[in-house]
Amino acid sequence: MANYTLIVMSDSHGNPSVVEEIKARYQGQVTGIFHNGDSELASNLPVWEGIQVVRGNCDGEGYPDRLVTQFAGLTIAQTHGHLYLINFMWDRLYFWAQEEGADICLYGHLHQATAWQEGKTVFINPGSVEQPRGPVQEKLYARVEVDDERIKVDFYTLDHQLYPALSKEFSR
């Protein structure tokens, strides 16, 4: 039985300390750590060692626009979202996730924590660890637990407290 734990953050907008703190808390204890862009940090900084990171619309060069990460039995498609026009439609992001055979599609850009499923793919926006938007004005990141039967998404505050109102669980 495959069990994975993922930590997902996004939109840290020039705050390296929040990225470093989340990384220090989880590195070596989880399967993977992901940052969905708009860090506004240089791509060659040591903080990115051990983190899967993509370029957001506020980032410079040196980051990939998208990544596909595979663990045995799990495919994760990751992008910031702006290149897929997610402010206006979901079709492009959805079709890319399907092309990649993604079990999980990670994105950012909107600064709003949410998780939803379309087809077999669970889409996760961890919110923003620096500038939240929308109805939930809490700086959040996501913890994703995956096994052979389910994908559980929980959101946490920067003091690592569960924000239970947004928790969701999906069948695989």
| pLDDT tens-digit map of 82-134 | 999 999 999 999 999 999 999 999 999 999 999 999 999 999 999 999 999 99
**∠ CA 32-112-86 to the nearest 5 degrees?**
90
To the question of pTM greater than 0.85 for the whole model, the response is yes
CA–CA distance, 89 with 149 (Å, rounded to integer): 29
CA–CA distance, 171 with 160 (Å, rounded to integer): 26
Looking at residue 157, its pLDDT comes to 98
CA–CA distance, 76 with 62 (Å, rounded to integer): 21
Structural domains for the chain: 4-171 (3.60.21.10)
